[in-house]
Amino acid sequence: MNPVEIAAWWPQIAATALLGALLVLDDTAYAQTWLSQPVCGGVLAGLVWGHPGAGLALGLTVQLLSLGNLPVGQAFVGERVGPLLGAVGAASAAGWNPGLPFGGPGAEAGRLGWLLLAVALGSCLGDRLVRWERVWHTRLVAGAMRGLREGRLEVLERAHRSSLAGVAIRGALTTLAVWGLVALLWIPAFSRLPDRVVAALALLPWFAPAVAIGSLVELYGSRAGARWIAGGAAGTLALAWTLARLGAS
Amino acid sequence: MSARGGRPDDLHGIYRRSLGLQGSWNPERMQNLGLAVALLPWLRRSGAAPAEARRFCRRHLEFFNTNPYCANLLLGGLVRLEAENLRDGATPVRTLTMFKDSLGRALASLGDQFLWLGLQPALMLLAVLSAWPGLVWPPLLVVGLFAVTQLLLRRRALLVGYDLGLDIVDLLGSPRWHRAIWTAKRAGALLTGVLAGMTVVSSWSRLGDPGGTTTVLGTALAMAAALFLRRRWPGEGLLLALVPLALLLSCL
């Protein structure tokens, strides 16, 4: 992708950065409607680029990976929104359409795995960024408390607004940075990967439901919970078997 | 200061700000600044003297943490008690602080059990399963419905909290909380079973394809790794750790 091609995409890039700012705010700072969850965020980014299917493929896979990441206490937060939006935008700009997850074999699945790897790396690195941001919030609060001694109530509002603005700016910048890295380095590098590595990447989307099931079985896996899990699995398999029999006859 | 039914006019301003309770979350005092800022519209219109306003802010800038979805019940009650305290000193400051701390902890526990450990995994599983055949709109619909409902419920919680004041504590004893937690967790468990069934069906249908056996084997090994390592690993980290397994399997 050359600078002229990038310039042609500027309305979509700007809209994705804005979406990144809004969804990162929604993720941890304001309203928390869960529209920032990967499956929705991916689709929304895909809609911005005219490829909602690509957004769904990546968003759904990332959602499965993160189903067990519970935001309780000071646990791992990750920073999935920016990397996911950036990766969906870059893939759409490059004409990559990973298609349905767990469907297509070969290069399409390999591309989805390659993008998934970028988002997972981005999320792990972004977690550090979120922790720094929260330390910065501590400093803002301390500054506001000093200002309060002089009787100025508005210093509290200013500190809170700065925090919210910081979160939104982080979301926009992370989205832009990931878009640039994925569009200019990550996607071009895919064509140089050996076939064996592409085959390994094609397996990664399949690991996502496995990771989700493993984490959720651990979450719900008491004796009573296990019965419900087994019931859900048995019911689904019975339904699939019945539908297959009906289709065959 | 008061409007219909004795509720203050500024509850709408408090509601808008309460949505940003976690906006300045910090590791030392957590949601303290979010709470203080949410209560400022009421403080400004209360006519409190500057010294009293400073004491009010200092009180609410202490450590505070609760579940953001349940917080409005507490915020409504807090406004009511602060108003009573300012009017005739009916609620001592010590009672106010104890109310905030103990109710905050109780709502954090109930809210985390219901929302983070019950409803969120269940709802997101439903969104994922509804999108499984490649449908784009169902997940947006499922989550959009939740978004609107929770925003309306948070507004209602603020009004209920204001009306009940100290009596909010009685609400916490209701068996409805535990029934809701039980239902959300069982729904999550059932949908986990459905996801497992659909994964088996999807991988089974690939058995005839080239590399299909490797896919099934990889899925089973990844699930075993997730079961074994889960508590210590976030999903993204686990995927990165499973890359060598994928490379190994691709050599088979």
| ipTM of the complex in this document | 0.93
Predicted confidence at residue A107, as pLDDT, reads 67
* Residues B242, B126 within the same domain: no
Average pLDDT over residues B7-20: 89
Q: What is the pLDDT of residues B188-226, one digit of tens each?
A: 999 999 999 999 998 888 777 777 788 888 888 888 888
Q: Which residue of B has its CA nearest to A139?
A: B26
Q: Which residue of A has its CA nearest to B109?
A: A72
Average pLDDT over residues A125-153: 92
> pLDDT at residue A2 above 90?
no
Tokens of B127: 């969104």
Predicted confidence at residue A105, as pLDDT, reads 56
Q: Tell me the residue type at B133.
A: P
Task: Classify residue B196: in a domain, yes or no.
Answer: no
Task: Give the C-alpha separation, A31 to A167, whole Å.
Answer: 13
* Residues B55, B153 within the same domain: yes
> pLDDT at residue B4 above 50?
no
Top pLDDT among A215 and A172 is at: A172
Q: What is the pLDDT of residues B165-195, one digit of tens each?
A: 999 988 988 899 999 999 999 999 999 999 9
Q: Which of A71, A204, A228 sits opposite B116 (nearest CB)?
A: A71
- Whether the CB-CB separation of A111 and A96 falls below 8 Å is answered with yes
Find residues 67-106 of chain A whose CB sits inside 8 Å of chain B. Answer: 67-72, 74, 76, 78, 80, 100, 102-103, 105
**Cβ pair B139:A230 closer than 8 A:** no
Task: Classify residue B174: in a domain, yes or no.
Answer: yes
Predicted confidence at residue B81, as pLDDT, reads 94
* Residues B176, B242 within the same domain: no
Predicted confidence at residue A106, as pLDDT, reads 60
Q: Which of A53, A135, A140 sits opposite B136 (nearest CB)?
A: A53
Task: Classify residue B197: in a domain, yes or no.
Answer: no
Sign of CA dihedral A225, A227, A230, A233: negative
* Residues B220, B175 within the same domain: no
**Cβ pair A34:B139 closer than 8 A:** no
- A12 in contact with B at a CB cutoff of 8 Å? no
Q: Which residue of B has its CA nearest to A69?
A: B234
Top pLDDT among B161 and B204 is at: B161
- A207 in contact with B at a CB cutoff of 8 Å? yes
Mean pLDDT of chain A: 91
Q: Tell me the residue type at B151.
A: L
Q: Which of B140, B150, B246 sits opposite A203 (nearest CB)?
A: B246
Task: Give the C-alpha separation, B90 to B240, whole Å.
Answer: 58
- A193 in contact with B at a CB cutoff of 8 Å? no
Predicted confidence at residue A185, as pLDDT, reads 96
Of the pLDDT bands very low, low, confident and very high (cuts 50, 70, 90), residue B5 is very low
> pLDDT at residue A92 above 90?
yes
* Residues B80, B168 within the same domain: yes
Tokens of B168: 């909010």
Please tell me the total number of residues recorded for chain B in this structure: 252
Q: What is the pLDDT of residues A33-61, one digit of tens each?
A: 999 999 999 999 999 999 999 999 999 99
Average pLDDT over residues A158-176: 97
> pLDDT at residue B230 above 60?
no
Predicted confidence at residue B3, as pLDDT, reads 43
State the angle between helix axes of B71-88 and B137-164 in degrees (0 to 180), rounded to the nearest 10.
20
- Mutation choice for A interface testing from B32, B116, B128, B207 by most A CBs within 10 A: B128
Q: Tell me the residue range of the domain where B95 lies.
A: 4-187
- Alpha-carbon distance A189 to nearest alpha carbon in chain B (angstroms): 17
SS3 B26: strand
- Alpha-carbon distance B115 to nearest alpha carbon in chain A (angstroms): 10
Task: Give the C-alpha separation, A45 to A1, whole Å.
Answer: 20
Task: Classify residue B52: in a domain, yes or no.
Answer: yes
- A169 in contact with B at a CB cutoff of 8 Å? no
Task: Classify residue B199: in a domain, yes or no.
Answer: no
Number of domains in chain B: 2
Domain layout of chain A by residue ranges = 3-209
> pLDDT at residue A201 above 90?
yes
| B132, B159, B187 - which closes a domain | B187
* Residues B102, B66 within the same domain: yes
- B214 in contact with A at a CB cutoff of 8 Å? yes
Proportion of chain A above pLDDT 90, given as a percent:
72
* Residues B37, B111 within the same domain: yes
Task: Classify residue B123: in a domain, yes or no.
Answer: yes
Q: Which chain A residues are closer than 8 Å to B120 by Cβ?
A: 34, 70
* Residues B115, B234 within the same domain: no
* Residues B176, B53 within the same domain: yes
- Alpha-carbon distance B162 to nearest alpha carbon in chain A (angstroms): 21
CB pairs under 8 A between A and B: 331
Q: Which chain B residues are closer than 8 Å to A87 by Cβ?
A: none
* Residues B118, B229 within the same domain: no
> pLDDT at residue B88 above 90?
no
> pLDDT at residue A221 above 70?
yes
Predicted confidence at residue B6, as pLDDT, reads 55
Task: Classify residue B198: in a domain, yes or no.
Answer: no
Question: What phi and psi, each to the nearest 5 degrees, are found at residue B44?
Answer: -60, -40
- Whether the CB-CB separation of B77 and B103 falls below 8 Å is answered with yes
* Residues B141, B215 within the same domain: no
> pLDDT at residue A182 above 50?
yes
Mean pLDDT of chain B: 90
- Whether the CB-CB separation of A41 and B30 falls below 8 Å is answered with no
**Cβ pair B219:A78 closer than 8 A:** no
Average pLDDT over residues B80-92: 87
Task: Classify residue B55: in a domain, yes or no.
Answer: yes
* Residues B176, B211 within the same domain: no
- A107 in contact with B at a CB cutoff of 8 Å? no
- A63 in contact with B at a CB cutoff of 8 Å? yes
Q: Which chain B residues are closer than 8 Å to A204 by Cβ?
A: 239, 242-243, 246
Q: What is the DSSP letter of A173?
A: H
- Alpha-carbon distance A4 to nearest alpha carbon in chain B (angstroms): 31
- A243 in contact with B at a CB cutoff of 8 Å? no
